[in-house]
Amino acid sequence: MKRIIIFCLAACVQATTISTSCQHALQGDHRYLAAQADYAATIKQEDITLDALKPQLHSQLLVSREHFSAKQSNNSTLSDSYLAKKADVTIEQPLIDFSAYRQLTQATLETKKAAIELEQAKQTVWLNVADHYLEVLKQHALYEAAASERRTLAEQQQYDHKRLQSGVITQADWLATEAQLAAAQAREIAMQGDLLNAVAQYQALTDIQHPQFTTPAAAYLPAKPTIQSSTDKAALLGNLTIQSALLKTMIAQKHIEVAQAQHYPTVHAYGTYTNQHNPNGILSTYSPINDTETTSVGINVHIPLYQGGQVVDQVDQAQYLYESTAQRLAQSRNDVAVELTMNRHNLIANYQQIQALQHGVSAAKSALESQKAGYEAGTKTNIALLNAISQLQASQSQYAAALFGYLHNRLYREYLAGHLQLSDIQALDKHMKTAITIPPLTV
């Protein structure tokens, strides 16, 4: 029984990976679900425009009560009423319809754009989940740095209090420690609040109520970035925002062609069969043949001549819309190019910061130990020791910001290039080794 309980508890606190969080978040992300619906709608719209080019079959049945009267040569009037029936069946096949063909091409482009926007929505969800997960880890590292500083200062405050009572240090030295301890306590509480807020945002995004986070090991050093300025061009071509903007421009261009097609004639082939039945026999000399069957096959040519300038205005409007989308495409290219350049710079800077700060944290720890030993021996001042404590906390915080900034920028690079895959996030999961605890905030 105890083993079962232990197993259940272990299952409840199983580590929450970033990749599983991404898959979980997709199920409830409204933007992604909306993009799915938009994609399905564009496929149906493409089917609708294609159906318009297929043979169209129409039928009509007319039943009416008709009254007939005729004046004879002797001025007498002959009249009668009867039930007339008429049935028509018509099949029509578009042969030349530039507007319909161009609408089909436009609908195909709309489907491609919706597919790209669906993929972008999925990658956006994945990136957001990973960012929120990494933000929790960063805030936890900042909290731990602040908590470590507070614990060190609390120990120092107790030590200084004893030294104050024995007259080794002055009241000013003890008050300086007290002031820095109070500031560290406030900073720890603030960091704890930021941590809990980051967890709450992650829970709202993924709908995972009891996540168990893991962070990279202390000795973790990410791979050196191998990107160059030349790789930005390839990433620019794959960017989904640019691809979507490009398709919008192509759709706007097709819209011009659709509007222009209203000037062109349309040619449809048709075949009609008509069956008309008139049961009246008395007035056969005055009415058409009682039962008639008519079959016709032909070509219907529609030539627009004048529509009040409406088509010209529609073409002008479509051209203005095309110019608008073309300008937005150019702006998107510029924006993404700048983002790629900044991302490359950030990756290189983050990696170099990680290398420097790993050594900086180690040096700050050694410096703190040296300052403690010197302070206890009477060769170092209280201010120097307090500065060493603050320096360690600052180095640890800067290291956390650089590390998780690098991990974010590496995923963001893939997102900007348009090919962020779940495997990229799973590769990041493999480096998450150490479970962390989220401390509750109490009043």
pLDDT in tens, 214-247: 999 888 888 888 888 788 888 899 999 999 999 9
Token pair 């938009």: residue = 38
0.75 exceeded by the pTM?
yes
CB atoms within 10 A of CB 109: 21
3-state secondary structure at position 80: strand
What pLDDT does residue 215 have? Answer: 94
Beta bridge partners of 216: 432
pLDDT of residue 300: 86
The answer to whether the CB of 181 falls within 8 A of the CB of 389 is no
What integer pLDDT is reported at residue 118 of this predicted model? 97
pLDDT of residue 301: 87
From the list 358, 356, 364, the residue with the least C-alpha distance to 389 is: 364
Per residue in 397-423, pLDDT tens? 999 999 999 999 999 999 999 999 999
Q: Which two structure tokens, joined as six digits, stand for 356?
A: 């420097």
Can you say how many angstroms the Cα of residue 323 is from the centroid of all Cα atoms in its chain?
26
**In terms of residues, how long is the chain?**
443
Cα–Cα distance measured from residue 311 to residue 259, given in angstroms and rounded to the nearest whole number: 7
Strands (E), 387-441: 432-435
Q: What is the pLDDT of residue 254?
A: 93
At 70 the pLDDT is 61
* Pairing of the two strands 56-71 and 266-277: unpaired
Strand (E) or helix (H) holding 268: strand 266-277
User: Quick one: pLDDT at residue 73?
Assistant: 61
Q: What number of other Cβ atoms are within 10 A of residue 295's Cβ? A: 10
**pLDDT in the model for residue 373:** 92
DSSP, res 54: S
Domains of the chain: 2-53+97-264+308-435 (1.20.1600.10), 56-96+267-303 (2.20.200)
Pairing of strands 291-302, 56-71: unpaired
Supply the DSSP symbol for 209.
S
Give CA–CA dist 329/194, Å, rounded: 38
Tens digit of each residue's pLDDT (9 = 90 or more) over 14-69? 578 999 999 999 999 999 999 999 999 999 999 999 988 888 888 888 887 777 66
Residues of the chain where predicted confidence (pLDDT) is lower than 70 = 1-14, 68-80, 82, 278-290, 443
Model pLDDT, residue 220:
87
pLDDT at 292: 76
CB count, 10 Å around CB of 42? 21
Euclidean distance between CA atoms 61 and 76, whole angstroms? 35
* Structure-token match 């979507």, residue found: 244
Q: Which two tokens stand for residue 12?
A: 């409840």
* Residue 183: C-alpha distances to residues 50, 138, 368, 372 (Å): 70, 21, 19, 20
* CA atoms within 13 A of residue 408's CA, in its CB half-sphere: 19
